Amino acid sequence: MRTIHIRRMMILSTVLLLGPILSTGCARIHDKSAAEVLHLVLAGMAGSDGVSFEGASSLMLDGKPVPKAALYYGGTVSDHNKVSLHTLLPDGGKPQTAAQAGGNKLKSSSAAASAYYTRLEKKNGQWTLLQQDSTASPDSPLPGLNPLRQLEDLEKHEIEVSEEAGGARGTRVLRIELSEPEAVRQLAAELEGQMEAIRPGKSGSEQKETGKEEDALQLLWAKKNNELQQKLKEVSVRTVYYLQVDTKRNLPKRLTCTRRVNDPANQGTTGGGAEEIYLTEVNFYGYR
């Protein structure tokens, strides 16, 4: 009996000693700052074997939606660095980029073929389009909607991270805003990448012109590129992300982004489109 009593005392002592330590550990997890939670989530996402996702993007001009610019998509992440994306169209219609819809004045005016499926792989730190497995034109919006790239961007830019109140149980909602210079640089990088992809004579293009036709296309591209650079000097950009976090696993549940582009030069002009709002959202599920 004495031996049993001693064992009970030892177990009780161990529980009393470990209790505060374990409680402190849990408190530390839940008491981390918004910036620390973001870092943990991005690290957790990088370590995840795979996940499925569905999302949407849309464009508004002066508060009015551009229906033809709306795009619904889904996809999967596998092996940490491979992403497949495809369009989701309940009505069976053909998707259009914002450039095709004629809405976003900062994008190229070149018409783009409809995009249905794209595969990307990260090689040497860069996301590469696997052309042999894709049906996408050079200015397809699908590569830009790669959710892993969107999350990675949050670590590359100058940001301000805070937490929103009222998150659902078991979640935290982080508000992530880019500084205005960073927001402009991010937009510029995306649009310049799209312009470079459609540059005449670019390897991999379906058709290559020669002689006068090629010269004319080069001149047109240079003109549009100069117009783009001028616009980027004039606009103001505000970009805000909201990241809903699963606190049990420290993984993303939902990511939304609102980018507001204002062009003071066009304010007050008829049909000028003083403000463009580009919205994206993506929901993650089925982590592996």
How many CA atoms does the CB half-sphere of 272 hold within 13 Å?
12
Q: Report the pLDDT averaged over residues 111-128.
A: 74
Q: pLDDT value at position 8?
A: 56
pLDDT (tens digit, 9 = 90+) per residue, 44-53?
998 888 999 9
How far is Cα 62 from Cα 273, in angstroms, rounded to an integer? 6
Tally of CB atoms within 10 A around 45: 20
Q: pLDDT value at position 227?
A: 92
Q: pLDDT value at position 273?
A: 53
Cα dihedral 171, 177, 178, 183, rounded to 10, equals: 110
The residue with greater pLDDT, 174 or 155, is: 174
Residues in the chain: 288
- All residues at 6 or more sequence positions from 178 whose CB lies less than 8 Å from its CB, including other chains: 157, 158, 159, 186, 239, 240
Spatial contact of 232 and 187, defined as CB atoms under 8 Å apart: yes
Spatial contact of 66 and 98, defined as CB atoms under 8 Å apart: yes
pLDDT (tens digit, 9 = 90+) per residue, 183-218?
999 999 999 988 888 888 765 554 555 677 888 899
CATH class of 38-202+211-285: mainly beta
How far is Cα 41 from Cα 35, in angstroms, rounded to an integer? 10
Q: pLDDT value at position 101?
A: 36
Q: Is 181 helix (H, G, I), strand (E, B) or coil?
A: helix
